[in-house]
Structure formats: structure tokens, C-alpha cells
Structure 1
Amino acid sequence: MENTPVFGFFEFAYIGIPLTIIGIIYMMTIGCKLIPNRETALEEADTKNEEEATSEEATWKQMVAIGVLLAAVVFMIFEEQFGIPLHIVSVMGAMVIVLTRTMSEKKAYRSLDFSTIILVAAMMPMATALAETGAAQMIADYVLEMAGSNAGPYVITALIFGVTTVLTSVMSNTAAAALMAPIGLVIAASMGVDPKAILMTVCVGASAAYASPVGTPPNTMIYGPGNYTFLDYIKCGFPFLVIQLIVCVVIVPLIWPF
């Protein structure tokens, strides 16, 4: 576990850009037809957004927010050159947002999802416990046994993606990644392969919370305003999960060979 591989900032783009393009095409063609018509709710939201956008104060706040975002991205890309860790950059960005009154302290406080924070905080020691107690090894052995002794990279990728996707549908995507990462490292060690491919599969699978309104905060945030039901997420999200599985199985072993 000590030699955990490190991904480059833009390395995620190898799988992220194809998935983004395919996701846009899917939502513009198939996905939009699977989403129920919520014109009234959307029109009210659009009207409210237009009223806020006409305010000079709102425009200034938008400019500050975009500036902070771009600065944070630059600091994250050149983390080694600046010598400032990612979490410090995030805190600095949040402080600028509050100090410039782009967002008040109360709004910033209310925007925190404490249930997600507690869940992630609880999952981190659980992930450590999985690695140190041997539970991760046991689960990894079971996964490899289920895949078969002659399982190739495509089968392993599909299996890891599937397990991670199921977990991220019922818990935080960060927590799902924290839970699966040590298991992925053990699987890679057992197979004697570069763990990058398996860890990237965990990363992609943990982000694929499309078929559930509780898997990731953005899904939960639009649940009420969009007047959606749980079934709406399954109808629209599950087909894209299948597409994403296929893309992941094809691209990951090519970019990060086992």
C-alpha cells in the first residue's frame, strides 16, 4: 500500500474526455427522450435565474466565482511548482469567496453537506481498516475467484466497475472510492499488474451515480426542483451506465495496460 501510484492532473482526461463527449451525445439524443416533461418547474427556475442574472451585483459575484475557480485550477495543475497542496488551495478559494462577499458566511455554512462529510469521514478509517485487517485481501480474493483464474483485463475492469457503481448508487461517490481503492490495490497486487488501471476503473465507477438520486450531491439537488422520481433516474441513468461500462472496458486497459 505504500507505493500507491500517483496520477497526473491531465491523466484523467484520457477517459474523461471520451466519456464527456459520449455523455453529451447520449443526453442530446436518447437521454432527453427518457426524461419526463417538467416544463413548468424548469420555466420557473429559468425565470428566477434570469432575474438574478440581470443584477449588477450578481454579475460581479459570477466574475469573482469564475476567477476563483480558474485560479484554483491553475494552482492544482502546478501544485508541485507552487508547493501548495490541493486542500489548502480549496480552503483559500473558499476564503476569497467569503471575504469578497460573493457568498455570505451563513450561505457558505448552509451549503455544506454534513451528512456527506460525516459519511466520507467514517469511510476513510473503514478503508484503512480493510487494508490493515486483511478484509481487503479477503474481498479481493473473492472477486478474483468470481472472475475466474483466467480472467483477462476486460473482465476484471467490468467487474470492478460494476461493484463500484453499485456502491456509489447508495452512498457518496467519495466514500465508494475510498472503500474500493484498497480492495483494488490488493487485486492489482494479487494479479501482479500495474494498479493504475484498476484504480482508474474505481474512479470512473465511483463517479457513475446516474441511476440514483442519492449517489452524489448534484443528483440530490435537482431531485426536488426537477420534480423527478427515483424511477426517472433509473430510466435515464441506467442506459448511460451500460454505455460508460463499455467505454471503460475498452479504453482503460488500452491506456493503462494490465
Structure 2
Amino acid sequence: DVDVLTPKSYIAIGTLILMILLLVLEIFPGAIAALICAGIIMLTGCVPISKAYKGISWTSVVMIAAMIPMGLALQKTGTAQVVSNGLVNALGSIHPVLLLGGIFLVTTVFSQTINNSATAVLMAPIAITAAVSMGVSPAPFMIVVAISASTAFLTPVGTTTNAMVLGAGGYKFMDYVKVGGPLLLLIFVSSMLLVPMIWPFEI
């Protein structure tokens, strides 16, 4: 049997295209665009409101809401700054590659709980200061910050995407570690080998 598209199927496809356009053109913030499209889907009967409500992963919602203030606390209390500065002081005098690896690891740790953009903003000035104090180019350090700030896949709260699939997929915390751990190791080793080659330490 061949499945036939119903009028609601076309509405769903059109809404998906609308969602993509709203995000690409940045007509509305992402959250507003999502609410608009979700409203269209429910009001047109593609998905009943009761079913949509039951489909919400409240575990993910609560988890995200709880982690936001935790991330802010790390920044506001200066904890993140102290940890980062301690790493720079410990490794900066040994070798640039060791400091590069340290910056990568600290940024990765922060990115598991703090928004990746906030993590990059937090670590970028520290990386630049460390590079200048060592008399080397800040370019490799900035690239490593950009890469490691995007490695938030070790925990279900690293990004909203991870949290959204937590309840729906029935995943556990360790599932993210099992999949994300080897991937993170691969990215770390690749970064330590390739970044200094493409962006040398020499000014």
C-alpha cells in the first residue's frame, strides 16, 4: 500500500518549512518561532493539544531550568575564573601545547553545564591573556576555545538538544558519557595535533 498525504500532512510540512525560514531569516527569536509553529500545528489539529501536552518531557524542562542558574552561579561567583587562572598559572610556564590542552579541557568541562556561547566568552580573554604572557600567538588558543566550547555532549544538560531527547529516548546520564567520551577524546587528540600545525604558536 502507498501512503497518501493528507491535508494535515501538507500543513505539517508547510509549518516545518516556515520554522526553518523563521530561524534562518531571524525574523523572531528561536523560542518565539518555535511557539508560533507549535501553535499552528495544534490549532490546525495536526497534533491534538492534549497529546502535545503529554508529549512534553517535563524531566528535561526541569533539568534545563535548574542548570541555567548553576551556570550563572559559576560565572557570577568567579569560580570559573579562579579555576581557569589556576590552570594557566600551572601549565603556562611549561609548554604552549600543555596549556593548549589545559584550555581545551577546562573549556570542555564548563561547556557541559554552561551555554557554549557563554563558555567561549568566559574562556576567550583568559586564552588571549595566557598567550600574550607566554609571547606566543593567541590564534591556536582561540581556535581551541571555539572547538572545545562546542563539545557539550558528555551530559544531558550540555545543550538543550541533549536534554530534549533525554526523556523521549529513555536515556540515562551514562549513555551520554559512553557515546560522547570516545568522540571527545578523538576531538581532543585531533585538536592537539592539527591546531598548532595550522595556527602555529610563533607570532
TM-score by length of 1: 0.55
What secondary structure does 1:178 align onto?
A: helix
Q: Which has the higher contact order (CA 8 A, sep 6+)?
A: 1
1:86-97 matches, cutoff 5 A: 90=26, 92-94=27-29
Are 1:57 and 2:17 matched, yes or no? no
C-alpha separation between the residues in 1 aligned to 2:154 and 2:28?
32
Render the CA deviation track for 1:108-154: whole Å, top value 9, x for unaligned.
Answer: xx9x976677667x479749x79xxxx959943x32442262403x3
% identical aligned pairs: 32
Instruction: Return the letter of the residue paired with 1:166.
Output: V
Shift of 1:195: 2.1
Give the match for residue 22 of structure 1. Answer: none
Q: Is the 8 A contact 1:188 1:195 kept in 2?
A: yes
Q: Is the 8 A contact 1:197 1:257 kept in 2?
A: yes
One-letter amino acid of the counterpart of residue 14, structure 2: W
Equivalent residue for 1:190, pick from 124, 133, 150 = 133
What is the root-mean-square deviation in Å for CA atoms of aligned residues? 3.8
Paired residue for 2:154, among 206, 211, 216? Answer: 211
Corresponding residue of 2:46: none
> What whole-Å deviation, never above 9, does each CA across 1:59-94 have from its counterpart, x for those lacking one?
111222333444x3xxxxxxxxxxxxxxxxx3x244
How many pairs are equivalent? 175
2:37 is matched with 102
Contact 1:158 1:249 in 2 (8 A): yes
SS at match of 1:210: coil
- Based on CA coordinates, which of the two structures has the bigger radius of gyration? 2
Choose which of 119, 130, 134 in structure 2 pairs with 1:176: 119
| 1:124–1:189 distance in 2 versus 1, CA, 3 Å | farther
Q: Supply the distance in 2 between the matched residues of 1:59 and 1:160 (Cα, whole angstroms).
A: 43
Distance 1:178 1:94 in 2: 21
Q: Which runs of 5+ in 1 are unaligned?
A: 1-50, 73-89
Give the letter for the 1:146 counterpart.
A
Q: Which runs of 5+ in 2 are unaligned?
A: 43-55
| Matched residue, 2:181 | 238
Q: Which residue of 1 aligns with 2:195?
A: 252
In 1, are the aligned partners of 2:92 and 2:134 still within 8 Å (CA)?
no
The aligned counterpart of 2:91 is 147
User: Cα 1:194–1:119, aligned 2, differ >3 Å: closer, same or farther?
Assistant: farther
TM-score of the superposition, structure 2-length normalised?
0.67
Is this contact kept in 1: 2:67–2:113, CA < 8 A? Answer: no
Q: Distance in 1 between the 2:6 and 2:153 partners?
A: 29
Aligned pair partner of 1:160 in 94, 103, 106: 103
Q: What secondary structure does 2:155 align onto?
A: coil
